[in-house]
Structure 1
Amino acid sequence: MKPSLLVLIHLDDTSRARIEGAFDVIYAPDAAQRDAAISAHGATIRTVLTNGTTGLSAAEIDQMPQLELISALGAGYENLAVDHARSRAIALANGAGTNDHCVADHAFALLLAIVRDVPQLDQATRAGVWRDALPLQPNVSNKRLGIVGLGNIGEKVARRGAGFDMEIGYHNRKPREDSPLRYFDSMQGLAQWCDFLVVTTPGGAGTRHLIGETVLAALGAQGFVVNVSRGSVVDTAALARALCSGTIAGAALDVYEGEPQPPEALLALRNVVLTPHVGGRSPEAITASVDNFLRNATRHFAGEPVLTPI
């Protein structure tokens, strides 16, 4: 008999078919289905597949007495009750490393789009406006790139920045001994130094509103911020004020507070580029994430440790 798996996130048909080959799947990708599925099947569920945004609460875990493996499809797990799961000796895994290149690609796409004003130039061209009537936009190359969170994704953003001949610095809780990049021990120091601030740090209580009024003021009137981490890291209200007042030049966000609803305060602003949390989504990334989940599950049910533990 295949183990029972509760899937709390949207899966495309191909991914779902692959997973159904290994599990008895209960598919509940929205809130109403989720509550009904846990009520009806909680007693038999052995595995849950979720992601950082969707998460899994302690109360939900307690409704599943046979639960033994929780996996986040991507790298994030900020809304997963990790400590509670560990107290029940439930194995925890994520998709670390499966979509890093995709997110780093998207971060640079957003950076180029906002600095070079690509969306507005596209609209102007369609309206018949020629370049002489449009403002000049700055270079991206040969500028200073600040990275908030030099993890796997941050490192890949740095490598792309090097291809643009950028000077690169970063801020972590502590310096990376294996990194030759310039380390800043404060967010304000990094923001004041750089032209472009790219946010790739994990979400969660420890980084909530890390990018707020003080950091944005330090970034300055010629500065741009890009967020491909979690929406909670950037204070939306402070960002809106900074964009409206000219405190910073622009922002590009793939993630934002209140997802899936886009931030109302930013929608009318021309110096903002928004995408709907797709930075880690591509055919290649999804395939790799599903592969990773299946490998972890196979190892777990064979009595072996998962490859990408939380």
Structure 2
Amino acid sequence: MALLEARAELDVIVWPEDRACERSWLMENVVGATGVIVMFPEKVNTELLDKAGPSLKVVSTVSVGYEHIDLKAAAQHNLKVGYTPDVLTDAVADLSVMLALMAGRNGGIGVDLVQKGQWPNFSWSPFALCGPQLSTTAASQTRKIGFLGFGRIAQATLARLVPFGITHCLYSSNPSSPPNYARDAALAKQHNLRAVSKVDIDELARESDVLFVLAPGGSGTYHVVNEAVLKKMKRTSILVNASRGTLVDSDALAKALREGWIWGAGLDVVEGEPNVTIDHPLVKEPRCVILPHIGSATLETRGEMTTRAAQNVIAAILGEEMPSQVDLSTVL
């Protein structure tokens, strides 16, 4: 806000409440705007852009994803679109490791046991509430970590897992992208791993002790983690999704957990969110830890995201280069 308010040439209109903006307020106040900053829940479509009118130059979103923005419509209106990549890498990587630990060590079940007052009634036994250990306990062991998508967040997550003693990193990314052998060899040397290898999704599913889903959303990755993939995973494996809910078939994952194909799952995103109620099939699964899409929810990261969004909108309005601009050249 300080960045915006410091520009005397800008009239800043602000939704005054600390909650999601009402659509009716946005539609009323976007009329005649030169730029608009939106959050992830707000849909930027033809209706909104037409309402804004020809004065609108830029849409800046406080998010790394921009599925809520109709990019084709934005291009047709000759707009610039800003987003906030890079700044949330560390926060999401931290959360991904947390989800892996919570899912593997029955964190959700344990917290529920205490919060419902059932700990006094819990009968201890040698293997009660045990789960697969993330760290290795002997030099002879292997621990293979898999990544569906191997961008900045995945590589930051890998770096955080190195102290746990992981031995192999497997990843599957865009099939059209050739393997980067030099980069992979450098990562293996940097992290003292036996190998960093690009594999197909079937091998990724079979070999990963923990499989992190950290790929972009969209039609190309819709339900890429489906029943066939889940059936190939180990019975002691963990699935973590901190990217987009649409990548994982929720019904297939619920079945996999219910029937014991995999050990557990840690999710920060679910398809159809936020409409995830107690009747949702994944909510009913004790070994599925679900968080309400809080991957970027640290004070530091949200501060950087909102700063970047303000910088984007100011630069576009003044005809300067935006710090983070979505390439719209190929969407028409």
TM over 0.5: yes
Does the Cα contact within 8 Å between 1:52 and 1:75 map onto a contact in 2? Answer: no
Query: Which of the residues 77, 86, 101 maps onto 1:88?
Result: 77
Find runs of 4+ consecutive structure 1 residues off by over 6 angstroms.
none
> Does the alignment pair 1:59 with 2:75?
no
Deviations 1:181-239 (A, max 9, x none): 3111x222211121111111111222111111111111132221011001111111111
Greater mean deviation of Cα atoms: 212-221 or 172-181: 172-181
Does the Cα contact within 8 Å between 1:53 and 1:77 map onto a contact in 2? Answer: no
Which amino acid letter does the alignment assign opposite residue 227 of structure 1? N
Q: Output aligned runs, 1:30-109, within 5 Å.
A: 30=20, 33-38=22-27, 40-65=28-53, 66-109=55-98
Q: Return the index of the structure with the highest Cα Rg.
A: 2
> Does the alignment pair 1:303 with 2:297?
no
Relative distance call for 1:122 and 1:34 in structure 2 (3 A) is: closer
| In 1, Cα distance between equivalents of 2:320 and 2:36 | 18
Q: Per-residue deviation at 1:176?
A: 5.6
Does the Cα contact within 8 Å between 1:149 and 1:199 map onto a contact in 2? Answer: yes
Relative distance call for 1:193 and 1:26 in structure 2 (3 A) is: same
- Which residue number in structure 2 is paired with residue 144 of structure 1? 144
- Which residue number in structure 2 is paired with residue 132 of structure 1? 126
Using structure 1 for the length normalisation, give the TM-score.
0.86
| In 2, Cα distance between equivalents of 1:218 and 1:165 | 24
Does the Cα contact within 8 Å between 1:149 and 1:171 map onto a contact in 2? Answer: yes
- Which residue number in structure 2 is paired with residue 12 of structure 1? none
Unaligned runs of 5+ in 1: 1-15
Q: Output aligned runs, 1:138-217, within 5 Å.
A: 138-142=132-136, 143-166=143-166, 167-173=168-174, 174-175=177-178, 177=180, 178-180=183-185, 181-184=196-199, 186-217=200-231
| In 2, Cα distance between equivalents of 1:245 and 1:20 | 56
Larger RCO (CA under 8 A, 6+ residues apart): 2
Greater mean deviation of Cα atoms: 241-250 or 158-167: 158-167
Give the alignment's Cα RMSD to 1 decimal.
2.2
Does the Cα contact within 8 Å between 2:57 and 2:317 map onto a contact in 1? Answer: no
Which amino acid letter does the alignment assign opposite residue 67 of structure 2? E
Aligned residue pairs, count: 292
| In 2, Cα distance between equivalents of 1:285 and 1:82 | 25
| In 2, Cα distance between equivalents of 1:37 and 1:171 | 40
| In 2, Cα distance between equivalents of 1:163 and 1:19 | 42
Identity rate, percent: 25
| In 1, Cα distance between equivalents of 2:241 and 2:211 | 8
Does the Cα contact within 8 Å between 1:161 and 1:168 map onto a contact in 2? Answer: no
SS of 2:265's partner is: strand
